[in-house]
Amino acid sequence: MPVRISHFSLLIPDYDIALDFFLSIGFECREDTDLGNGKRWVRIAPPGAQTEILLARAAEDRQSRSIGEQGGGRVWLFLETEDFASDYERLKAANVEFETPPRDEPYGRVVVWKDPWGNRWDLIEYACPDLSGTGN
């Protein structure tokens, strides 16, 4: 039985623009390998994270139409933090679009934001570490 999800793909229109954005909000680039014919293997993640995002440049019309819509309009990406205030300020400095002001929920502090392509994310600091699913 597999033990973890190692990567998931995020459709983007351009590798360099996406990489610049994610680096500006504190992600690190773990690999950027040229595969030829304009294709690259670009892995990014927050520092210390196990699961990585594979930036996947849309290569056909169907993929291009899906950029920003992979979650079907729902929040589908969850960025966990241990320092909500600092990470919220980092996102503000990167000019991300916030849908709502930060709010407190029973599970923690959260704000919904969009990346430059319209994907909806939660920045979340759990009130109780065990709610994160990490077992801490």
Query: What is the reported pLDDT for 134?
Result: 53
Question: Residues 120, 76: one domain?
Answer: yes
Question: Residues 77, 123: one domain?
Answer: yes
Segment 45-95, tens digit of pLDDT: 999 999 999 999 999 999 999 999 999 999 999 999 999 999 999 999 999
Structural domains of the chain, count: 2
Query: What is the reported pLDDT for 136?
Result: 45
Which residues share a beta bridge with 43?
Answer: 31, 54
Q: Which residue type occupies 61? A: D
Is the model's pTM score more than 0.85?
yes
Question: Residues 122, 83: one domain?
Answer: yes
Helix-, strand-, coil-residue percentages of the chain, each rounded to 5: 20, 40, 40
Is pLDDT above 80 for 135?
no
Question: Residues 4, 44: one domain?
Answer: yes
Q: Which residue type occupies 108? A: G
Q: Which stretches does DSSP call E strand in the chain?
A: 7-12, 28-36, 39-45, 52-57, 75-80, 97-98, 103-105, 108-114, 120-126
Share of the chain above pLDDT 90, in %: 91
pLDDT band at 23 (very low <50, low <70, confident <90, very high): very high
Question: Residues 76, 51: one domain?
Answer: no
CA–CA distance, 104 with 44 (Å, rounded to integer): 29
Domain boundary among 46, 67, 88: 67
